[in-house]
Amino acid sequence: MTVIVIGGGPAGLMAAESLAGRGVAVALYDAMPSPGRKFLLAGKGGLNLTHSEALGSFVPRYGARAGLFQALLSEFGPADLRHWAKGLGIDTFVGSSGRVFPDEMKAAPLLRAWLRRLRGMGVSLNARHRWLGWTENGRDLRFRSPAGEVAVEAEATVLALGGASWPHLGSDGAWAGLLAARGIVIAAMKPANCGFDLGWSDHFAERHAGQHLETVELSFAERTVRGEVVLTRTGIEGGCVYALSGALRDIIAVQGIAMATLNLMPDWSEDRVLAALARPRGSRSLATFLKKALPLSPAALALLRELLPREVLDNPVLLAAAIKALPLPLLQARPLEEAISTAGGVRFEDLDEHLMLKALPGVFIAGEMLDWEAPTGGYLLTGSFATGRHAGLGAAAWVTRK
């Protein structure tokens, strides 16, 4: 009998490899025309495979689930992931920020090599098969396929269907209803690594959407992240924002607003900024004066004019303070379908140590279906690989015992 893996993202593919490596027959099913659709798109601009920092700094990135990921990453962590990629013929390098990329920067060569390995290990890959739940006997799996509905017998099942972000690539969260029908409690799914709305004026949105604020610092709840912020038509997104998105999202849910601050010139002290602003302005307009006085980008200057009242812009002391800590009233997170990843899902409390559902013996869960979140920068992807491997090994042990 065969173990069925449902979901062709990194977690599902790693589960399939782990099973096949233990000599277990594996069939993988995916709803999309080919596996790894979200993985390919995420790596289009440069696949950030993992991060090079030590585990002592790496593990806390998983927030409330850090204790669980301590064990998972000790089995398959960032160094193991790089070694695994090299085994596929994919060399990696560490960028200036500590992030790890394939030498070719792209996801496609790695995915092609991976699928070749899986086929060589005997894994059956079945595309365009959407999981519909279980048959009436509660054991066999139902799929909608190009040939119509089919039922597949499985000795064990690994579910790695992703979260509910990017539904056009297959991660639509439809599995939540199928598990809920079997009595599994699903933690509410929420956007993670997402942007936020600020309510720009139409003029600002039309002129500045898509512009970048580079080398800034975003602060919230005594945490500061340095990096890039991107202006969107409705608000902000980017690496800094994603790193704080969970805390921002949760406080908005309670208070209706989150007040973050943005340091537009983190390499200058406030005194230095004030000294530059205190120079005589003469007959120059404020915009011309600021362009000459400070190395602020046009986007940063426009942001100051958008958010600050005239009395602050005309007061060097107040303006210097605002440049170092510009208040950003964040009104709401962008919708889940726009988010990079998903928080919420199957609760770890309902799983055993092998990621098997206690209420459904033989059914294992991996990847973004689980209730965890981590920032971009390699942490999210590494967590998906680690949970996929662990669930696959758990399923292999399960069928071996049976």
Q: Quick: pLDDT tens for 321-350.
A: 999 999 999 999 999 999 999 999 999 999
What is the tens place of the pLDDT at every residue in 159-173? 999 999 888 887 889
Amino acid at 230: V
Residue 402 has pLDDT above 80, yes or no: no
3-7, 142-146, 167-171, 248-252: which range is least confident on average? Answer: 167-171
262 in the same domain as 175? no
Cα separation, 144 vs 174, whole angstroms = 14
Q: Which of 318, 333, 348 is the last residue of a domain?
A: 333
- Position of tokens 């927030």? 63
- Alpha carbons 307 and 322: distance in angstroms, whole number: 10
207, burial (CB in 10 Å: exposed 0-12, middle 13-18, buried 19+)? middle
Kindly write down the DSSP assignment for every residue of 167-201, as one continuous string: GGGT---THHHHHHTTT--EEEEEEES--EE----
Backbone angles phi, psi at 103, to 5 degrees: -55, -40
Choose one of 300, 318, 333: the last residue of a domain. Answer: 333
Please report the pLDDT score of residue 41 as a whole number.
80
Residue 372 to residues 78, 263, 331, 387: CA-CA distances in angstroms?
Answer: 18, 29, 24, 11
DSSP conformation class of 370: B
What gap in Å lies between CA 260 and CA 239, rounded to an integer? 15
Q: 237 pLDDT band (50/70/90 cuts)?
A: very high
Pairing of strands 341-346, 258-263: unpaired
Q: State the pLDDT at residue 65.
A: 94
How crowded is residue 98: how many other Cβ atoms within 10 Å of its Cβ? 13
For residues 33 and 160, membership in a common domain is answered with yes
Q: Are residues 120 and 56 in the same domain?
A: yes
* 241 and 166 within one domain: no
Residue 375: alpha-carbon gap to chain centroid: 6
Of the chain, the percentage scoring pLDDT greater than 90 comes to 85
pLDDT at 356: 98
| Mean pLDDT of the region 93-112 | 92
Please return the burial class of 131, using the count of CB atoms within 10 Å of its CB with bins 0-12, 13-18 and 19+. buried
Whose structure tokens read 């005309």? 314
Q: What is the reported pLDDT for 43?
A: 64
Sign of the C-alpha dihedral computed for residues 71, 392, 351 and 246 taken in this order: positive
**CATH code where residue 73 lies:** 3.50.50.60
The string of pLDDT tens digits covering residues 128-161 is: 999 999 998 888 999 999 999 999 999 999 999 9
The Cα-based distances of 195 to 73, 332, 342 in angstroms read 28, 9, 13
Answer yes or no: do 163 and 204 share one domain.
no
Q: Which has the higher per-residue pLDDT, 234 or 280?
A: 234
| Contact predicate 213/303, CB 8 Å | yes
The reported pLDDT for the residue numbered 167 is: 85
- The pTM for the full model equals 0.91
Does one domain contain both 54 and 79?
yes
Q: Note down the domain range covering 279.
A: 196-333
Mean pLDDT of the region 235-246: 94
**In a shared domain, residues 121 and 253:** no
Residues 152 and 50 reside in one and the same domain: yes
Of the three residues 284, 299, 333, the one that is the final residue of a domain is: 333
Q: Which of 145, 157, 136, 181 is nearest to 2 (CA)?
A: 157
Residue 59 and residue 37 share a domain: yes
Burial class, 267, CB count within 10 angstroms (exposed 0-12 / middle 13-18 / buried 19+): exposed
What angle do helix axes 379-401 and 78-87 make, rounded to 10 degrees? Answer: 80
DSSP 3-state of 211:
coil
Say whether pLDDT at 89 is over 70: yes
The secondary element (H helix, E strand) that includes residue 249 is helix 239-255
Q: Cβ contacts of residue 352 below 8 Å, gap of 6+?
A: 358
Q: Report which residue type is found at 120.
A: G
pLDDT band at 38 (very low <50, low <70, confident <90, very high): confident
Same domain, 150 and 36: yes
Distances (CA, A) of 264 to 8, 201, 227, 303, 328: 41, 20, 11, 10, 12
Angle at the Cα of 50 (from 67 to 28), degrees rounded to 5? 85
Reduced to 3 states (helix: H, G, I; strand: E, B; else coil), residue 140 is: coil
Sign of the torsion formed by the C-alpha atoms of 214, 44, 75 and 99: negative
Residue 300 phi, psi (nearest 5): -65, -40
Our count of domains for the chain comes to: 2
What pLDDT digit, counting tens, does each position of 257-312 carry?
Answer: 999 999 999 999 999 999 999 888 777 888 888 888 899 999 999 999 999 999 99
Same domain, residue pair 235 and 372: no
- 366 with 240, same domain? no
Contacting residues for 283 by C-beta, under 8 A, at least 6 apart: none
